[in-house]
Amino acid sequence: MAAATSGHDDRKRNVRRTALWLGLVAVAFYLGFIAMGVLRSVH
Partner 1 sequence: MTTTSSIAHHQPADPVREHHEDELHDDHGPEKGWRRWVFATNHKDIGTMYLLFSLLMFFIGGTMAMVIRAELFKPGLQLVDPMFFNSMTSMHALIMIFGAVMPAFVGLANWMIPLQVGAPDMALPRMNNFSFWILPFAFTLLLGTLFVPGGAPAGGWTMYPPLVLQTGNAFPMLIFAVHLMGASSIMGAINVIVTIMNMRAPGMSLLKMPMFVWSWLITAYLLIAVMPVLAGAVTMLLTDHYFKTTFFEAAGGGDPVMFQHIFWFFGHPEVYIMILPSFGIVSEIIPTFSRKKLFGYDSMVYAIASIAFLSFIVWAHHMFTVGMPLAGQLFFMLATMLIAVPTGVKVFNWTATMFKGSLSFEPPMLFALSFLFLFTIGGFSGLMLAIVPADFQYHDTYFVVAHFHYVLVPGAVFGIMAGVYYWLPKWTGHMYDMKLAKWHFWLSTIFVNVLFFPQHFLGLAGMPRRIPDYNTQFADWNMVSSIGAFGFGLSQLLFAYLIFSSIRGRANASDKVWDDATPHGLEWTLSSPPPYHSFETAPELK
N-to-C CA span, the chain: 62
Question: What is the widest separation between alpha-carbon atoms in the chain?
Answer: 62
Q: To the nearest whole angstrom, how small is the minimum distance from the Cβ of residue 14 to partner 1?
A: 5
Q: What's the min distance (Å) between Cβ of 43 and partner 1?
A: 9
User: Which residues in this chain contact partner 1 in the complex, by CB under 8 A?
Assistant: 1, 4-5, 7-8, 11, 14-15, 18-19, 22-23, 25-34, 37-38, 40-41
Between CA 14 and CA 12 the distance in angstroms is: 5
Whole-number minimum distance, CB 16 to partner 1, in Å?
Answer: 9
